[in-house]
Amino acid sequence: MIRVFRLRPLLLLSFALLLGACGGGNVKPTATAATPVAPVRVAPVKVGIALGGGAAKGFAHIGVIKMLEANGIQPVVVSGTSAGSVVGALYASGMDAFQMQKVAFALDEDKIRDVSLFSGGVIKGQKLQDYVNELVAQRKLEAMKRPLAVVATRLEDGKRTVFVRGNTGQAVRASSSIPGVFEAVKIGDSTYVDGGVVSPVPVDAARELGADFVIAVDISSKADGKAPGSLLGNINQSITIMGQKLGALELQRADIVLRPKVLDIGAADFAQKNTAILEGERAALAAMPRIKAKIAQLQQARLAAAREKVRVQAVQDAARAQAECEARQGTVDKLLRREDCTALAR
């Protein structure tokens, strides 16, 4: 009995120390003090660029990219339709805007035009395919330095098809195959034509590649009550009219829409490539304050959300720690009451 009696003070002392860790004595623990939170970092906003179709107007895309790069904005994913897929492929392969401009100025139309009057189109498109593959060093879509999506229209059912793997030149050829001008392109078991029929400016394709912020470049012709005046112009405008409603809805899902003033450039007017590039530069430069502000706003919103997530987690951790502490204190209180009763009994 003597040994047991001497052990009780030691047990009480141990529980008292445990109680002290929760706040001491029989005082109920108060709210835990704010826990210091480590600095929160979030990944930079992933900018994507969606390059629309528009035949020779497509040189404007180079000017847009030039101004983005000059202002420190580097799109990390690229999507393209028709002419936009050509520029998109070059950019995704690792070329900068000045390298693309050099390619544009050196372009000989004979390198991309292979006439065929008896095969369902004026132009076969094989030369365009080979030319693009040569410029991208034969890289396949999945091997590009920037993720690239090329949009075409499946002829059998009119569905949008997004190419992200396979032969780059072939995908670009399919995306650029204006019905009645280019031969339709057979890939696998399906046949494809110009992507502008279903997705004139491929905003959704850029989102699907993981873009947080999409800059859309719309160079499509708008029906103004006048006939374009050429076969290619007529066909190009017909495709534009067909895709306008779908395109308008898709453009609403972009964060920024740029419209370079290239409506006066004909679909086959490659001689005005310099004018198109300059108009692309002007459009991007005019929108630059909005682009920067929106990207900064999105980055701040993501940072605030990340901080709130950390704060909530810290509060939950503190509440859990306090609950555990109170549970331990309740156990100590019960033991103390039992000791008191034992002492009274003696």
Q: Which residues are catalytic?
A: 82, 194
Per DSSP, what are the bridge partners of residue 77?
Answer: 48
Count the neighbouring beta carbons within 10 Å of the beta carbon of residue 327: 10
Is the Cα dihedral 164, 166, 169, 170 positive or negative? Answer: negative
Secondary structure E strands in the chain: 47-51, 77-81, 148-154, 160-163, 185-187, 190-194, 213-217, 256-258
Of the candidates 45, 148, 46, 145, the residue with the CA atom closest to the CA atom of residue 87: 148
DSSP H helices, 176-272, are 203-208, 231-251
In the chain, count of helices (H) and strands (E)?
A: 9, 8
Tell me the residue type at 17.
L
Residues near 87 by beta carbon (within 8 Å), at least 6 away in sequence: 51, 58, 59, 61, 62, 65, 80, 100
